[in-house]
Amino acid sequence: MTRKQKKTLIRIIVSGVLLAAAAFVPVKGVVRLAVYAVPYAVIGWDVLWKAVRNICHGQVFDENFLMAIATLGAFGTGEYAEAASVMLFYQIGELFQSCAVGKSRRSIASLMDIRPDYANIQRDGQLVRIDPDEVGIGDIIVVKPGERIPLDGTVTEGESSVDTAALTGESLPRTVRAGEDVISGCINRSGLIKVRVNKKFGESTVAKILDLVENSSSKKAKAENFITRFARYYTPVVVIAAVLLAVIPPIVLGGGWTGWLHRALIFLVISCPCALVISVPLSFFGGIGGASRKGILVKGGNYLEILADSEIVVFDKTGTLTKGVFNVTAVHPEEISEQRLIELAAYAESYSVHPIAKSILEAYAKDTDQNRITSCEELSGKGVKAVIDGLEVCVGNDKLMEQLGVGWRPCHHVGTTVHVAVNGKYAGHMVISDEIKETSADAVKSLKEKGVKRTVMLTGDSATVGEDAARRLGLDEVYTELLPAGKVEKVEKLLESKSPKGKLVFVGDGINDAPVLSRADIGIAMGAMGSDAAIEAADIVLMDDDPVKIADAIDISVKTVRIVRQNIVFALGVKLIVLLLGALGIANMWAAVFADVGVSVLAILNAMRAMRVK
């Protein structure tokens, strides 16, 4: 609780005690007025001051004005206890509201703890702490156990357990070793590691996250904008209605001014729009905060609102549904051993920087002795030819084998087939494929359970590879062999095919996905290993690249929008009923207090449910 909230609580307690004591003081007239004026002044002086100040600044019709007029009017009609009580309960509601908003803000502000204060760098044999902004690309930083990793980079030395909970929402740490990438904002738990910096601090993961969090509340949902406009016109209308209620009936009916003035004051208390003005933004803010704890960064309440109407979810393949890392998944030798086939292919590919070459070298898992290689030639679009231990080894695709006149065999495994020929004779082949993420099939299944009507995959891969992946994942549609421009065209057609209220979501990670992310109704980017351009273009970022989080994000958005609608219907419904009863003289000042403070508290309690995420 903040200092201001503590002071308000003390005033509430003091005023409440004084108000209770005033009820037992046997006095009348001016003395009774003075007795009740003391607790009223203790609890309501700031409301009166804000009302006067806002009037001076031209902001007449706000909740402070309504409460000031209603309670001072009650004093004028002799309703001293009611006037002080209304102001007391109003302040209790305001305190409750302040605490709720503070809790919601803290749920998002907790992400600010990921900001690193310093980076360790070695200079003249000494470890020096410097500002992360001063570290350049290529510099080696030292991260001790217990410290936060300040910048994105690659581990060069050491092994450690890294806690990624603040970024991804995952409680289990992961182990990192030399050669593996780490992202800023994570906590180094166990061992000392050295990291080669890949990005400047301003472009690092932690800097981008902080920017997203700081700006998330600036993009309001349609419901929030509606409530803002509604309150702007609603308050003046009810004030005018209250004035007419106090004046017209006595003129028409001839007398009864005090009774009708009392009804008008009750009308004013009831009409305060606190429940709507606070609970709706609080619901979206709570939803964003709840999502952030799951490692889902939403850039604004408007995107959370749109996501709730997801009808079509379109996926990129590589890096989104698959790991984006090519591996040797099958080895089929002919007349030589499996290990010998991999060894010859690895030596032939040892000079290449192609991802397929890298995957073969990783499968070999040994250092290559370059003295064994007499010559090496890269054959563009076909493969490589090398002389290894006096043997001519050719490694490549079907076209290379056909060029050499070597009879090759097709493989029943799905993936990129790499053939190997030794001295003009077929030695066997390997299959290189991009592994599907363990959670991808569950993600597609979960989306369908959430009511998503169509799941689609767009990929630049061949029809065989793409259709196999789509079948294994249970996707409804797949479009293969697409260039970036082709993906945009497909999304355009899918946008035309959806229902008027339905929304299209695109999920991607690569730099070539940025145009599609921008074109979709909602763009979701993989944040851990996704490209900067994709993260920038997206509306929602998944910090751990887990596609299952898409269904979680939809769950949170649906829950948040449902809470917002509940609060709007409940607040307006109760207020309209009690307003009508107040105008007819049936509802008293205590009913007015419930319609204002009670409804606000209930709406805020309901809004806070958006922060709770399973």
Residue 314 lies in a domain: yes
pLDDT at residue 230 in the model: 67
Q: How confident is the model at residue 455 (pLDDT cuts 50, 70, 90)?
A: very high
Mean predicted lDDT score pLDDT of the chain: 81
Rounded CA separation 539/307 (Å):
10
Mark whether 460 and 539 lie in a shared domain. yes
Q: The domain spanning residue 167 has which CATH number? A: 2.70.150.10
Q: Which of 51, 54, 53 is nearest to 70 (CA)?
A: 51
Q: How confident is the model at residue 213 (pLDDT cuts 50, 70, 90)?
A: low
Mark whether 410 and 359 lie in a shared domain. yes
Task: Clarify whether 316 is annotated catalytic.
Answer: yes
Residue 567 lies in a domain: no
pLDDT at residue 432 in the model: 85
Whole-model pTM: value is 0.66
User: Taking 70 as the threshold, does the pLDDT of residue 448 lie above it?
Assistant: yes
Mark whether 373 and 475 lie in a shared domain. no
Domain end: 157, 179, 199, which one? 199
Domain end: 435, 462, 479, which one? 435
- In one-letter notation, the amino acid at residue 204 is S
Domain around 490: 296-323+436-556
Rounded CA separation 238/268 (Å):
7
H or E element: which one contains 345? helix 338-349
DSSP letter (8 states) at residue 204: S
User: Taking 60 as the threshold, does the pLDDT of residue 235 lie above it?
Assistant: yes
Mark whether 442 and 407 lie in a shared domain. no
Residue 77 lies in a domain: no
User: Taking 80 as the threshold, does the pLDDT of residue 493 lie above it?
Assistant: yes
State both tokens at 517. Answer: 């992310």
Mark whether 471 and 535 lie in a shared domain. yes
Q: The domain spanning residue 313 has which CATH number? A: 3.40.50.1000
User: Taking 60 as the threshold, does the pLDDT of residue 13 lie above it?
Assistant: yes
pLDDT at residue 534 in the model: 59
Which residue has better confidence, 275 or 548? 548
Residues 570-614 have pLDDT tens digits of: 888 887 888 788 777 787 777 777 777 777 778 878 877 877 766
DSSP string, 555-603: HHHHHHHHHHHHHHHHHHHHHHHHHHHHHTT-S-HHHHHIIIIIHHHHH
pLDDT at residue 425 in the model: 93
Name residues whose C-beta falls within 8 Å of residue 215's C-beta, 6 or more positions apart in sequence.
299, 300
User: Taking 90 as the threshold, does the pLDDT of residue 343 lie above it?
Assistant: yes
Mark whether 509 and 424 lie in a shared domain. no
Mark whether 338 and 408 lie in a shared domain. yes
Residue 464 lies in a domain: yes
DSSP string, 518-537: HHSSEEEEETTTS-HHHHHH
Mark whether 412 and 441 lie in a shared domain. no
Mark whether 318 and 440 lie in a shared domain. yes
Q: The domain spanning residue 371 has which CATH number? A: 3.40.1110.10
Residue 189 lies in a domain: yes
Mark whether 449 and 301 lie in a shared domain. yes
Q: Which of 152, 316, 461, 552 does the annotation list as catalytic?
A: 316
What is the percentage of the chain residues whose pLDDT exceeds 70? 86
Mark whether 301 and 387 lie in a shared domain. no
User: Taking 70 as the threshold, does the pLDDT of residue 124 lie above it?
Assistant: yes
Residue 158 lies in a domain: yes
- In one-letter notation, the amino acid at residue 428 is G
Q: How confident is the model at residue 473 (pLDDT cuts 50, 70, 90)?
A: very high
User: Taking 70 as the threshold, does the pLDDT of residue 17 lie above it?
Assistant: yes
User: Taking 80 as the threshold, does the pLDDT of residue 417 lie above it?
Assistant: yes
Average pLDDT value for residue range 404-415: 84
Torsion (CA) 574, 576, 582, 587 in degrees, nearest 10 = -20
Residue 407 lies in a domain: yes
Sheet with 119-123: list strands edge to edge.
Answer: 126-130, 119-123, 140-143, 193-197, 153-157, 181-182
Total domain count for the chain? Answer: 3
Q: Which of 91, 70, 86 is nearest to 36 (CA)?
A: 86
Residue 488 lies in a domain: yes
- Given the structure tokens 């051993």, which residue do they identify? 337
pLDDT at residue 167 in the model: 60
Count of C-beta atoms within a 10 Å radius of residue 451: 11
Of 25-29, 450-454, 470-474, the one with minimum mean pLDDT is 25-29
User: Taking 60 as the threshold, does the pLDDT of residue 443 lie above it?
Assistant: yes
Domain end: 524, 556, 588, which one? 556
Mark whether 411 and 466 lie in a shared domain. no
pLDDT at residue 313 in the model: 94
Rounded CA separation 546/439 (Å):
7
